Amino acid sequence: MNGANSTLLDHIRFVLVETSHTGNLGATARAMKTMGLSRMHLVRPKSLPDAEALARASGADDLLANATLHDRLVDALAGCQLVIGSSARLRAVEWPLLEPPECARHLLAAARTGEVALVLGRERSGLTNEELALCHYLVHIPTHPGFSSLNLAAAAQVFAYEIRQAFRAGQGETLPREDRDLATAEALAAFHDHLTRTLVEIGFADPEQSGKLSRRLRRLFLRARPDWTEINILRGILSAAQGRKDPARFRRRERTEEGSP
Ligand code: SAH
């Protein structure tokens, strides 16, 4: 593997949210390492990797040792320009849905220009709607419809395998290169907080009910994949709507321009 190619896989992180069983942390590390992936991010794991995790990692201890810990999912996604959440259930909400091979191609294509994340949920309950709201896409491993929940590390193995196959086939090349400087997950999250606050302040949204509206709007902006300039424009509009900008500033400028020779 040459240096440039290994960087591509190094841009892909697997984010595990509130994993209960340390054995699953180890087995996921093993699943990732067999496919050349190395970056694990753990959000509030129930316990830190222990002897059981090391036994299941079976030589992938380095991934566990280098795993990064976070309190909040949004922190684990810092710097990511593409976030894909995985779910054992097909959700009622309309999320753009990918199959594992497409998910792998999207991750690799975006990894050419920035950081990307695949998010895996809790063993018992998966990911919450609030957590999925941070994701651009959802990926679902098509299973027998009556029994769709894979073990966490087994699901990680399927995703890692598909990433490896797409990487081998060089299919990352087939999706157009993203030439815009896309806003990162934390910039989008900060924009959404600002939007939600503003909608309540300007009397558009009922503070009690704004959660649902906020999720819908999140989906809209995630679909659009705004870049940094667009996010700055949108935040400027929100500040103006909050009355933090003085409309007279344009009149002042007109006068200055008229007055200039
Ligand atoms: N009972 C949970 C299942 C969680 S399984 C639920 O209904 O959501 C733990 C994690 O493994 C999931 O959050 C998801 O990240 C992954 N996973 C398991 N089966 C999957 C499938 N069929 N497709 C995509 N991800 C899956």
Residue 151: what pLDDT? 98
The rounded Å distance from CA 157 to ligand 1 centre is 12
Residue 83: what pLDDT? 97
Residue 92: what pLDDT? 59
Q: Whose CA is nearest to atom 11 of ligand 1?
A: 152
Residue 7: what pLDDT? 85
Domains of the chain, by residue range, sit at: 8-171, 185-255
Residue 216: what pLDDT? 86
The rounded Å distance from CA 86 to ligand 1 centre is 7
Pick the CATH number of 8-171 from 3.40.50.2300, 3.40.1280.10, 3.40.50.720, 3.30.450.150: 3.40.1280.10
Whole-number Cα distances in Å, 127 to 31, 206, 230, 247: 20, 26, 29, 44
pLDDT tens digits for 81-93? 999 999 998 865 6
Closest CA to 93 of 45, 129, 136, 118: 129
The rounded Å distance from CA 109 to ligand 1 centre is 24
Residue 259: what pLDDT? 52
Q: Ligand 1: which of 87, 137, 162 to mutate, most ligand atoms within 8 Å of CB?
A: 87
8-171 and 185-255, same CATH topology: no
Architecture label for domain 185-255:
Orthogonal Bundle (1.10)
Helix (H, G, I), strand (E, B) or coil at 259: helix
Q: Whose CA is nearest to atom 21 of ligand 1?
A: 88
Q: Whose CA is nearest to atom 15 of ligand 1?
A: 120
Residue 206: what pLDDT? 83
The rounded Å distance from CA 261 to ligand 1 centre is 68
The rounded Å distance from CA 3 to ligand 1 centre is 33
Residues within a 6 A CB radius of ligand 1: 86-89, 120-121, 123-127, 139-141, 143, 148-150, 152, 155
**CA 3 from chain center: how many Å?**
25
As a whole number of angstroms, the distance between CA 174 and CA 189 comes to 30
Residue 2: what pLDDT? 42
Residue 116: what pLDDT? 98
Q: Whose CA is nearest to atom 5 of ligand 1?
A: 123
Residue 185: what pLDDT? 93
As a whole number of angstroms, the distance between CA 197 and CA 175 comes to 36
| pTM recorded for the entire structure | 0.81
The rounded Å distance from CA 128 to ligand 1 centre is 12
Residue 179: what pLDDT? 78
10 Å Cβ neighbour count for 119? 27
Residue 176: what pLDDT? 65
Mean pLDDT by 10 residues, the chain (261 residues): 67 98 98 98 96 97 98 97 94 81 96 96 95 94 94 98 94 67 93 92 83 85 92 95 80 59 47
